[in-house]
Amino acid sequence: MKNIVIGKKSEIDKRAIIGQKTGRKIKSRKLSIGRKAKIRSNSVIYEGSKIGNNLETGHNVLIREENVIGNNLCIWTNSIIDYRCKIGNNVKIQNNCYVAQFTTIEDDAFLGPGVVIANDRYPVSPSTPKYLKGPVIKKGAKIGANVTLLPGVTIGEYSLIGGGAVVVSDIPPGSVAFGNPAAVKKTIDQLINPYSKKKVYAKILPKLKKILKKK
Smallest distance, Å, CB 151 to a second copy? 8
Per-residue contact string for residues 145-164; x = within reach of a second copy by CB under 8 A? xx-x-x---------x-xxx
CB nearer to a second copy: pick between 26 and 168? 168
Smallest distance, Å, CB 94 to a second copy? 8
Return d(Cα 168, Cα 146) in angstroms, integer: 15
Return d(Cα 81, Cα 45) in angstroms, integer: 10
Smallest distance, Å, CB 30 to a second copy? 21
Return d(Cα 109, Cα 133) in angstroms, integer: 19
Cβ neighbours of residue 210 under 8 Å, at least 6 residues apart? none
From candidates 65, 66, 106, 120, binder to a second copy by CB under 8 A: 120
Return d(Cα 37, Cα 54) in angstroms, integer: 5
Report if residue 129 touches a second copy, rule: CB under 8 A: no
Q: Taking Cα atoms as reference points, which of 141, 136, 148 lies closest to residue 179?
A: 148
User: Binding segment for a second copy among 1-9, 26-34, 47-55, 122-130 (CB under 8 A)?
Assistant: 122-130
Cβ neighbours of residue 191 under 8 Å, at least 6 residues apart? 160, 176, 199, 200, 201
Residues between 5 and 64 that touch a second copy (CB under 8 A): 17, 20, 41-42, 44, 58-60, 62
Residue 5's beta-bridge partner residues? 32
Q: Which residues bind a second copy (CB under 8 A)?
A: 17, 20, 41-42, 44, 58-60, 62, 77-78, 80, 82, 92, 94-96, 98, 100, 110, 112-114, 116-118, 120, 122-124, 142, 144-146, 148, 150, 160, 162-166, 168, 179-181, 191, 193, 200-201
